[in-house]
Amino acid sequence: MEAIDKIREAGLKLTPQRKAVYEAMMELRHAPIEAIISCVQSKDKEITLSTVYRILDSFYKAGLLSQVYHPQTNKCYYDITVHSHHHLFYGQQIVDYEDPELTQLIRQHLEKKNLVSADIEKIQVQITVNKSLI
Ligand SMILES: [Zn+2]
């Protein structure tokens, strides 16, 4: 789906700046704020830091982006993938890891420990690997 459709579908007004930030995220997939800013500014020198911050915040609140914390750097990365998924980490690399079976196993395990399914908001496993992912 195109950036413009995603932004409109989230109920946000389409602006050239929002389109530029969403397109940067489509390209970067997972990125800390500095990387998003430099990607957006490489295409639009006029866009200010505060505008990018504001747009990322509005995208996050509208459910257009999710966030993930890198276990080694403790940095917050914005993530273009918003549905439930896991991550593989190697150095600065972050790769999505889709494994509904793993999510289900954890959910069942937690239910056995008396944590009811309705109380679980999100299950996200972070796996750090010792070889390059690319
Ligand atoms: Zn992700």
Query: Among 91, 64, 92, which Cα is nearest to 79's?
Result: 64
Report how far ligand 1's centroid is from the alpha carbon of 81 (Å): 5
Q: Is the pLDDT of residue 134 over 80?
A: no
Report how far ligand 1's centroid is from the alpha carbon of 87 (Å): 6
Report how far ligand 1's centroid is from the alpha carbon of 27 (Å): 13
Q: Is the pLDDT of residue 68 over 90?
A: yes
Question: Which residues, in sequence order, are CB contacts of 122 under 8 Å at separation 6+?
Answer: 84
Q: Please, which pLDDT band fits residue 118 given cuts at 50, 70 and 90?
A: confident
Are 55 and 10 in contact by the 8 Å Cβ rule? The answer is no
Report how far ligand 1's centroid is from the alpha carbon of 111 (Å): 25
Report how far ligand 1's centroid is from the alpha carbon of 45 (Å): 28
Q: What is the pLDDT of residues 13-42, one digit of tens each?
A: 999 999 999 999 999 999 999 999 999 999
Query: Among 10, 20, 101, 19, which Cα is nearest to 64's?
Result: 10
Q: Is the pLDDT of residue 63 over 80?
A: yes
* Burial label, 58 (beta-carbon count in 10 A; 0-12, 13-18, 19+): middle
Report how far ligand 1's centroid is from the alpha carbon of 78 (Å): 8
Partners of 76 in beta bridges = 69
pLDDT of residue 96: 95
State pTM to two decimals. 0.87
Question: How far is residue 10 from each of residues 3, 5, 91, 102, measured CA to CA in Å?
Answer: 11, 9, 33, 29
Q: Please, which pLDDT band fits residue 2 given cuts at 50, 70 and 90?
A: confident
Report how far ligand 1's centroid is from the alpha carbon of 132 (Å): 17
Highest mean pLDDT: which range of 31-40, 68-77, 114-123: 31-40
Report how far ligand 1's centroid is from the alpha carbon of 122 (Å): 13
pLDDT of residue 91: 86
Q: Please, which pLDDT band fits residue 43 given cuts at 50, 70 and 90?
A: very high
How high does pLDDT run on average in the chain?
A: 93
